[in-house]
């Protein structure tokens, strides 16, 4: 089984590199390492666990277990991934945290 390093980077400057098996998702690996990341449905429908690949192409670095329903094609092209469905195919750096999800949706309460 192949493992890859995923470096998780928060907006406040913190980062943490974890080893992720190809048969587990980034969210599962984070939980295994006692790292709390936002998530909701775990089925790719809500988008709460959205991350953004910081370098490279998402298709080369990550694979979703199934179609991430919460992301539009333009989001995928821009490097957004759902951490509850995404498994690594190469070492990668990912922006994480609730602010990444807010990049995708307008807040009607502003």
Res. 36: pLDDT tops 90: yes
Angle formed at CA 20 by CA 14 and CA 22, multiple of 5 degrees: 145
- pTM to 2 decimal places: 0.90
Residue 59: its pLDDT value, please? 72
pLDDT of residue 61: 85
Question: Which domains, ranges and CATH numbers included, belong to the chain?
Answer: 3-94 (3.10.20.30)
Number of H helices, E strands in the chain: 4, 7
β-bridge pairing 50-53 and 92-95: antiparallel
């Amino acid at each position: 089984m192949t493992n890859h390093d995923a470096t998780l980077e928060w907006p406040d400057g913190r980062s943490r590199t974890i080893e992720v098996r190809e048969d587990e998702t980034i969210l599962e690996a984070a939980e295994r390492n006692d790292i709390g990341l936002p998530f909701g449905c775990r089925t790719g429908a809500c988008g709460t666990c959205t991350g953004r690949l910081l370098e490279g192409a998402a298709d080369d670095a990550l694979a979703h277990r199934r179609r991430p329903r919460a992301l539009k094609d333009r989001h995928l092209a821009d490097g957004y991934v759902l951490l509850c469905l995404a498994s690594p195919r190469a070492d990668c750096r990912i922006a994480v945290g609730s602010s990444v999800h807010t990049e995708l949706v307008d807040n009607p309460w502003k």
